[in-house]
Amino acid sequence: MLTKKQHELLIFINERIQDDGVSPSFDEMKDAFNLKSKSGIHRLITGLEERGFIRRLPHRARALEVLRLPETAAVGAGEVKEFPGNAGPNIIQGDFRAARVAGGGPKDAVELPLYGRIAAGTPIEALRDHSNHVDVPAAMLGRGEYYALEVDGDSMVDAGIFDGDTVLIERGESADSGAIVVALVDEAEVTLKRLRKKGDSIALEPANKAYETRIFGPDRVKVQGKLVGLLRQY
């Protein structure tokens, strides 16, 4: 699964290779996507490479090779098919209702909306899906508004959060330093990480030594909720 910006960049790179026989430079990609610096392009390229859509060819300038295109792309035509209605900007939004008692479940169960998959590694989409819900013991929740997300990745394993777990999130726009949060980065990517604050900087810290802590300015990260619990099936 790709974020909308990753998808658009992949199509842009593929079209340029088809037209010019060479991939665009990072400066050209930055200008095409109206970004202020190349760091955002580097992050998108890394995400595409990790997902197996492109590879970097060593010791060559403009050395990007498209390995495959997503199913939503018209291969070879340089056109993108229309996104499904719920695949718009990959920002968690919509029906953050207060938890309600599940109609068909146990009396002490609460029904929460289950939204997409949240990356506990490289950020990916977390898209709303009104058709899916999960029953949660009422004792796990307080009086706030909650939603659930399925974890995709292993960057939080040392915090006891594993691939396939369902995390319970209390909706909110602030969290204390040290809390595990759902963070929206650059209005485009959503990830589950531990929040660290120092001065004007915000760090999103994994709980796995194989991953690096990412540091941002305060205007680049928005908290969309904090972790309050998780569910796991064996």
8 Å CB contact between 195 and 186: no
**pLDDT category, 82, cuts 50, 70, 90?**
very low
For 43, the 3-state DSSP assignment is: helix
Distance CA 91, CA 222 (A): 11
The top-scoring range by mean pLDDT among 116-120, 149-153, 210-214 is: 210-214
Distance from the first to the final alpha carbon of the chain: 25
pLDDT tens figures, 135-147: 888 888 888 888 8
Q: What is the pLDDT of residue 159?
A: 93
Neighbours of 106 (CB within 10 A): 11
Q: What is the pLDDT of residue 97?
A: 44
Residues 6+ apart with CB under 8 A from 76: 18
Cut 0.75: pTM above it: no
Span 221-232, average pLDDT: 91
Among residues 160, 163, 155, which one has the least CA distance to residue 207?
155
Would you say residue 234 has pLDDT above 80?
A: no
Q: What is the pLDDT of residue 81?
A: 35
Q: What is the pLDDT of residue 62?
A: 65
Q: What is the pLDDT of residue 140?
A: 83
**pLDDT category, 218, cuts 50, 70, 90?**
confident
Biggest CA-to-CA distance, the chain:
63
Q: What is the mean pLDDT of the chain?
A: 78
Span 64-78, average pLDDT: 63
Distance CA 136, CA 140 (A): 7
**Picking from 98-112, 171-185, 191-205, which range would have the lowest pLDDT averaged per residue?**
98-112
**pLDDT category, 177, cuts 50, 70, 90?**
very high
What is the set of domains in the chain, with CATH numbers?
Answer: 4-74 (1.10.10.10), 100-231 (2.10.109.10)
**Phi–psi pair at 124, nearest 5 degrees:** -135, 180
| E runs forming strands in 95-179 | 100-101, 109-119, 133-137, 146-152, 166-170
From residue 181, how far is each of 95, 131, 220, 228 by CA, in Å?
19, 24, 15, 9
**Picking from 41-50, 62-71, 106-115, 118-127, which range would have the lowest pLDDT averaged per residue?**
118-127
Residue numbers annotated as active site:
155, 193
The top-scoring range by mean pLDDT among 22-31, 59-68, 174-183 is: 174-183
Half-sphere exposure of 230 (CA within 13 A, CB side): 22
Question: Is 16 or 122 the better-scoring residue by pLDDT?
Answer: 16
pLDDT tens figures, 83-141: 333 333 344 444 444 455 544 444 577 888 887 778 766 554 545 555 678 888 888 88
Strands 146-152 and 109-119: parallel
From residue 109, how far is each of 99, 100, 101, 104, 142 by CA, in Å?
10, 9, 6, 9, 13
Q: Which residue has the tokens 């990412």?
A: 214
Distance CA 62, CA 46 (A): 15
